[in-house]
Structure 1
């Protein structure tokens, strides 16, 4: 039976690297995969899944209007990066793709934003995913990082603002819960 998987972590834990490795493993066995990333994530260019380690791949994009069931290809697996940007309806579509159409779907994303609030896509993935896995990361203090901290150009913490602000290491840091609340 195919499943909907949600693999989440704080920033900079290697989610995109893991996704690209899964795609490579399927393709190395002669299987076709379909990869998606959020159209709003333009850090490295639109439609690119890019690992901080260097590997990069051109993929399809999704936005709030994407219907994953209508676009359901005949593939061995669907892989979704930046899954926190999925809508409730899209998570339901991906769950249905796995449960009814028999296509495994593996989603990678953040669980919460810089304020500690859940992203809508992540909340619904936590509710519907058949398999949930945390990808571990480390805080600067050495403890397990579970939170994200937004910073300004001088590295000072930002506590207010829109939930979505696309950025990388220049804009975000991972933190453990203690450091998240004490900074």
Structure 2
């Protein structure tokens, strides 16, 4: 029994929180980091370098607070697993994890499996093309705990998809772009919709099966 308890203490948990754009993911990540630091828990903050909107900070449109990332991960970069474990972090908090590579998602899972460091991830499930991000699919498969931030429209349909508009017109699904980014807001915008509305719009464009 004692051996079993010791083994459990050595393993962290791997929690994944997902939601659509505007569902307070980054605000929750900021609040978690602040709460952990108030409790004097050693915390490592990570965000992908591909998220260029706020530079080296986790920011939210919903709150004024922001948190500086300790590590900005390049898509080709491996996590320094041994260094992170030797630093005895209590928590790793990752924002916009869907922009990480599958390798990086796996490395974060490995850290939670071979050390007592808990990993908490925030991000999107779906790209604007209506397909899961590969990194999100992997993270959800690894997760010990999954939280889905639910948002609904006026008809109580769950908002789960995004539509990219360019100059007021839905962008073709065949466009060579696999991530949601903030571009020229005069030309590009994103709308969060239910899967019903997503398929209605693209059905009209002849881009999905009837």
Q: TM-score, normalization: structure 1?
A: 0.90
Whether contact under 8 Å (1:7, 1:108) holds in the other structure is: yes
1:117-161 deviations in whole A, cap 9, x for unaligned?
11121011021111111012234655221111112243x321332
Cα distance between partner residues in 2 of 1:128 and 1:98: 10
Q: Quote the residue 1:167 is aligned against.
A: 182
Q: TM-score, normalization: structure 2?
A: 0.79
Whether contact under 8 Å (1:9, 1:15) holds in the other structure is: yes
After TM superposition, the structure 1 = structure 2 runs for residues 1-183 of structure 1, keeping only pairs within 5 Å, are 1-44=11-54, 46-53=55-62, 54-59=64-69, 60-64=71-75, 65-72=77-84, 73-139=87-153, 142-154=156-168, 156-160=169-173, 161=175, 162-167=177-182, 171-183=189-201
RMSD, aligned α-carbons:
1.9
- Which stretch of the first structure deviates more once superposed, 52-61 or 135-144? 135-144
Of structures 1 and 2, the one with the larger relative CO (CA 8 A, separation 6+) is: 1
Q: 1:102 to 1:182 in 2, by over 3 A?
A: same
Cα distance between partner residues in 2 of 1:165 and 1:132: 22
The structure that has the greater radius of gyration is 2
Where has structure 1 moved over 4 Å in runs of 4 or more?
none
Whether contact under 8 Å (1:139, 1:174) holds in the other structure is: no
Whether contact under 8 Å (1:6, 1:107) holds in the other structure is: yes
| Gap regions ≥5 residues in structure 2 | 1-10, 202-210
Matched pairs, number: 181
Q: 1:102 to 1:12 in 2, by over 3 A?
A: same
Higher helix share: 2
Whether contact under 8 Å (1:68, 1:90) holds in the other structure is: no
Cα distance between partner residues in 2 of 1:122 and 1:68: 21
| Gap regions ≥5 residues in structure 1 | none
